[in-house]
Structure 1
Amino acid sequence: MSNVTPAVYAITIELDGQQYHFQCRDNQTVLSAAEAAGVPVPSSCCAGVCTTCAARIQEGEVHQPDAMGVKEDLRQEGFALLCVSFPRSDLAATAGQEDALYEAQFGQYQS
């Protein structure tokens, strides 16, 4: 059994023009920490498949190995699925980015 204490990071989420501040452990998803803090981040599948909890990371870094709903190039642009994102630093992100992610990922296929 490990006695390693998880790191705790400061998270700032902007959603619908409001800023929310809470803490998140490095072994906890940003979505679960947001929910525990009463932040109304949209979510649905909680498995990294849909894009309901999509956010755009403005500052900081997340580890999201299970974010099947986001192509790698868009992850590099800062898109993250908060339900499967573990913080690796303090974060600033804009939540509610489902439409923006959908457009970035599939917009070129729309006629």
Structure 2
Amino acid sequence: MTQPQTFTITAVYEGESHSFPCRADQTVLAAAEAAGVPLPSSCCSGVCTTCAARISEGTVHQPDAMGVKDDLKEAGYALLCVAFPTSDLTLTAGMEDALYEAQFGQYQK
């Protein structure tokens, strides 16, 4: 049996950059926790947006990210609790407010 591919994740959170390995069959959030990297999370099921991140390089597979509209997924937003890497990633974590504004800001005016 072959081992799943492992990717390198570079996550910037609160001004600090962290790099850690993440297997293709592991969520980015689970890999961060295993590496001791503290990233925000809450529901861990792709519904809330506490773990929202903006990916600047790389791609993820996140079919269970119900908390993000498809156009925002295409713009680089991901929910790390349900995001599986499909390449090395560079991302900014802690993007809950930015994602909320992008999804619902037009309704708040």
Partner of 2:103: 105
Structure 1 Cα separation of the partners of residues 101 and 73 of structure 2: 14
Structure 1 residues not aligned, in runs of 5+:
none
Question: How do 1:49-64 and structure 2 match up within 5 A?
Answer: 49-64=47-62
Question: 1:82 corresponds to which residue?
Answer: 80
| Distance (Å, rounded) in 1 between the aligned partners of 2:35 and 2:103 | 30
How many residues are treated as equivalent by the alignment? 109
Within 5 Å, give how 1:1-111 maps onto structure 2.
Answer: 3-111=1-109
Q: 1:4, CA displacement in angstroms?
A: 2.6
SS for the counterpart of 2:81 is helix
- Where in structure 2 are there 5+ consecutive unaligned residues? none
**Which contiguous aligned blocks of 4+ residues in structure 1 show a shift greater than 3 angstroms?**
none
- Across the aligned residues of Structure 1 and Structure 2, the Cα RMSD in angstroms comes to 0.5
Separation in 2 of the partners of 1:92 and 1:60? 7
Deviation at 1:68, TM superposition (A): 0.1
Letter in 1 for 2:42: S
Cα offsets for 1:35-60 (capped at 9, x unmatched): 11111100000000000000000100
Q: Aligned to 2:18, what secondary structure does the other structure show?
A: strand
Q: Distance in 1 between matches of 2:25 and 2:34?
A: 14
Secondary structure class of the residue paired with 1:51:
coil
1:33-87 deviation digits (Å, cap 9, x = unpaired): 0011111100000000000000000100000000000000000000000000000
